[in-house]
Amino acid sequence: MAKFVGAFAASHAPLIARDWTRLPGPVRARLTDAFARTGARLAAARADVIVEIAPDHWTNFFINNLPSVCIGVGAEHEGPREPFMRDFPHRTLRGDAAFGTHLLESALRSGFEPSMSHQLALDHGFCLPLWKMGLDPLPAIVPLIINDLEPPMPSIARCAAWGTLLAEAIASYPSDIRIAILASGGLSHSIGEATMGAIEEDFDRGCIAAFERDDTAALVAYLEAELPHVGNGAHEVRNWVVAHAACGGHGFSLLDYYAVPEVYVGCAWATWEPAA
């Protein structure tokens, strides 16, 4: 049976890619260190497959067709697509059609109705953490896209339910592979609204404290109360909620928190690994 080997979480501020050479040296050094340490922990998990949870920043979907949840069941994906990611290598990434399909079937059996895609282009939300973590070789990637961008979005409680479902799908997968989860996004940021560029450090600290606790229900309550009052980008912590619930509600260990005004994002990196 498949083995769940850990959950990892990281921010994906796009200016980390676009403005990399313009960022001050100390900022680049700390970001490099945080991604490298997260990547080292993920590499140590020796995952065959990473279920990566991220939003789609209008790369595959738009307001004419915007799924709340989409599972990538393709044998491969490609990315990143955005022109501002041109300094990053564009790659074809291996998918895992068999596990992606198993996750889809598990969801449908359990009363969830995600969309699916056999052909996804991955954007900076998926590629930036993977590239910056320096994973080599890169495990197969099964994308799980959550609409964190455009209201109305899946509720926080529903994201937690997705996490429980994901853990059950891993546990029931009849193949002897190692599967990790990588949640990409958050913490606070504000894009295209009056508070553009604002980083809500109080929210971020509360958010981190909630993720560190062994209590997904308390985490859901905190986010449902606080998310309406911070910048729109913070909604991406839904992806972290999926991961937290998939860990059975075990608290994450924070690897770093770094509010970076130069990239408009309160950046955080965290992990949870099961006991050996």
The residues that touch Fe ion, with contacts defined as CB under 5 A, are 125
CB of 186 or CB of 249, closer to Fe ion: 186
Q: What are phi and psi of 121, to 5 degrees?
A: -95, 130
CB of 154 or CB of 249, closer to Fe ion: 154
Residue 245 parent element (H or E): helix 237-246
Q: How far is the C-alpha of 92 from the C-alpha of 81, rounded, in Å?
A: 11
**CB 89, min distance to Fe ion, A:** 20
The DSSP-derived string for 158-227 is HHHHHHHHHHHHHHT--S--EEEEEEE--SSB--SSTTTT---HHHHHHHHHHHHSS-HHHHHHHHHHHG
DSSP secondary structure letter of residue 251: P
**CB 12, min distance to Fe ion, A:** 6
**What is the CB neighbour count within 10 angstroms for residue 4?**
23
**CB 125, min distance to Fe ion, A:** 5
**CB 265, min distance to Fe ion, A:** 8
Residues contacting residue 12 through CB under 8 Å, at least 6 positions apart: 54, 124, 125, 128, 129, 184, 185
CB of 99 or CB of 269, closer to Fe ion: 269
Q: How far is the C-alpha of 241 from the C-alpha of 116, rounded, in Å?
A: 21
CB of 100 or CB of 125, closer to Fe ion: 125
Q: What are phi and psi of 96, to 5 degrees?
A: -135, 90
CB of 125 or CB of 251, closer to Fe ion: 125
CB of 124 or CB of 244, closer to Fe ion: 124
Q: How far is the C-alpha of 12 from the C-alpha of 124, rounded, in Å?
A: 7
**CB 137, min distance to Fe ion, A:** 26
Q: What are phi and psi of 36, to 5 degrees?
A: -65, -40
CB of 106 or CB of 188, closer to Fe ion: 188
**CB 57, min distance to Fe ion, A:** 6
**CB 108, min distance to Fe ion, A:** 28
